[in-house]
Amino acid sequence: MASCESQESKDSRLGLDLTVRKLNLFGEQFIQSKTEEGQQSKLTLSNFYGKYSDKLDVASESIAIIATVENHQQSKEKLKVSISLLKTFVDTRRALINSVTEASNSYQGYVEQGKKKDEYWDEYRNSGYEYDFYKDYSSEALLKQVGYMSTFFDSKWESRDLVDSLFALNDSISIIINSYNLKVSESKLVDSLKITPLVDSTGGDWLISAETSISKLSISDDD
């Protein structure tokens, strides 16, 4: 004889399945968006990621209104953790884009100011020391170059840390997804989480490749 499911338990189960479908749609759209991600500017990046944060907020709201039923309590908590990790992942990826962009721009600024410093110094020497303002220009370029160098190093190491965080988050998300799906197979829940790995190191993720390129840039004492 089939066991009788209470209405509260049924509502909880259907609510969890609905939330999972929302998260799966988020994952699908987020992964597809990587082709557009690198085309964003600082002005559009916030809105670009904001729409994905909004989708996760909607999923959080779905979880919040689900009644806590004992046989679904663990599944509910796992979904809450999944959403929290995904939010952190989105924020970390956005921070990584800003950091990689800052590192790239500051490196270019360092190189350009180094050229100006040398050009102004050459002008100063070749003018027979008659135009002291060239010396001042060279000193100003040197100060700017040092500033760009400091920003470059800060952004470069921050980028490395953020990449490590992305992979750690990706692993944590995979673990919680597998754990949730195990509960699905043991219950009347229908929908499994199907969010594929959000990052990879095989060259398929432009942002990881960009950070790798940044990590290879260096500034020596001879520059």
Write down the domain spans for the chain: 9-210
3-state secondary structure of 192: coil
- How many Cα atoms are found within 13 Å in the side-chain-facing hemisphere of 114? 14
DSSP of 151-199: HHHHHHHHHHHHHHHHHHHHHHHHHHHHHHHHHHHTSS--PPP----S-
Q: Can you give the pLDDT at residue 46?
A: 76
* Number of Cβ within a 10 Å radius of residue 160: 17
Q: Per residue of the chain (223 residues), what is the pLDDT tens digit?
A: 345 778 888 888 889 999 999 999 998 888 888 778 777 777 787 788 888 889 999 999 989 888 888 888 999 999 999 999 999 999 999 899 889 999 999 999 999 999 999 999 998 888 877 778 888 999 999 999 999 999 999 999 999 999 999 999 999 999 999 999 988 887 888 899 998 777 776 667 788 888 999 999 988 654 5
Give phi and psi for 113, each to the nearest 5: -70, -30
Q: Can you give the pLDDT at residue 3?
A: 59
Distance CA 223, CA 219 (A): 7
Whole-model pTM?
A: 0.85
Q: Can you give the pLDDT at residue 2?
A: 45
